[in-house]
Chain A
Amino acid sequence: MVRLAATVLVAGLLSACQPDEEAERQQAHFHAMGTRIDLTLIEGPLSTESATRLIESHFEVHEQRWDGWGGGELGRLNQRLANDGQANVPASLRDGIEQALLLGQQSEGLFHPGIGALVETWSFHRQPRKAGPPPSEESLHGLLESLPPVSALQLDSGLLRGPGQGFRLDLGGFAKGLSLDRLHENLDAAGLEHGIINAGGDLLALGRAGGDSVDARAWRIGILDPRGDGVLAGVTVTDGECVMTSGDYERTFEHDGEAYHHILDPRTGHPADASASVTVISTECARADAAATALFVAGPGAWPELAAQMEVDTVMLVTPDGQVELSPAMEARIEFDQRQPDVTVKALP
């Protein structure tokens, strides 16, 4: 009896200690697109095992397809562009490249799909980056000279003309978002209703946490602090929303005490230094991805206007000294977690 009472007491206390489990949630992960893909899936019409296989093969295809330096479609296209100065864009790439060029124009070239040669000069095209010094001013200057404005890049009935030899596309700030958009369509069709696909920090949320159960709620996403440890802020996301962040802490290297990161300013050829990170939420992942890159380059003064031009309204920018700037739509749904930063809300024009 005593034993029973004590057991009941302790068991009661212990069970209270366990975090609430959402029973049917499944976790999986694999590596693709140069990063780790983390899946949080809820069983629905499509089993989580089938969903995992579908997502894995999807990313395999897109990793191949959008690698500008590999043996896939974009790699081969780049090879032809570099050699001949022009190339026919295969059907599988056409929509994506057109969308990238359009977003590039909307961003006034701050997201520039044509900076492949620049990226290669910085050795950012391979992960991990080959150790070595940053490129010389002269070589950057030469590449900037030959970099055409985005508006000059057009698909003419499937034919893409570069400015000359050595030109390459780089869709690094876009391919992940595009892959998530396409994946979203595939998963809708296959019958996965609830889950999160997190591709190295950039993620697509489907449905709700808890699935179709009565206590289901919106997924909660923590956004890491680029200038501190842990989570800076939390947002809840609705079905089909993507949360994309560009940060100066990703793919960095150091040389002679100087730190460099991979988000290049197409105007200077150097890593953009006006922002620490930009987070964009949108139901169009590719748009959010490109916008996060462009607004990061634009920096504190210029991002609101560019956000309006690129048709994104939920934006957070963290400045290099850790201050936070929010669009009104982001302010309405974000909650700061561990520190309360200096927050400025900037209306979009």
Chain B
Amino acid sequence: MPRPSLLDCLVILILAASLGLLLAMSLDGRSGDTALVMAEDTIVKRINLSRAGEYTVSGPLGESLLEVSNGRIRFADAPCPDRICLRRGWLSQHGDSATCIPNRVHIRLEAEENGYDSINF
């Protein structure tokens, strides 16, 4: 069984640390995913999902609460009676969306680098 030298261990350690850093960056940054938040048909917010946080959006029924963590977003609370949007759970993939129809709040995930310069709708 060959034994690694001190320098080997150093090289491997540095490699492991760099790769760990790379992994953390890819998990954290999620290559800059953005959640588009619309109230009525108006885009009211663009939330960068790389930072955890809570956001409120106002609609006709009151305030919908959005929660962001680990590159994902969900409705954490909503003033709508059926709360379907809460059951939708976490959104994490590009194009995922959830809508609170009674409160007119819509969230949709888009990638900044989806190859389009602008989005038409």
Residues of A at under 8 Å CB distance from B? 2-3, 6, 9-10, 13-14, 17, 19, 31, 34-36, 38, 40, 127-129, 131, 196, 198, 200-203, 205, 209, 219-224, 226, 228-231, 234, 243-245, 247, 249-254, 279, 338
Contact = CB atoms under 8 A, between A and B. Distances in A.
Nearest to B117: A219
B41 A203 contact: no
Nearest to B95: A230
Interface of B: 7, 10-11, 14-15, 18, 21-22, 25-26, 31-32, 39-44, 59-60, 94-97, 101-102, 104, 108, 110, 112-121
B14 A14 contact: no
A36 B39 CA distance: 11
Most buried by A among B43, B97, B108, B117: B117
Contacts of B41: 35, 200, 249-252
A245 B22 CA distance: 41
Given A196-B118, A223-B120, A245-B120, A9 B18 contact: yes
A244 B18 CA distance: 47
B42 A35 contact: yes
Contacts, number: 114
B118 A221 contact: yes
A245 B43 CA distance: 16
A209 B117 CA distance: 8
A220 B14 contact: no
Nearest to B58: A128
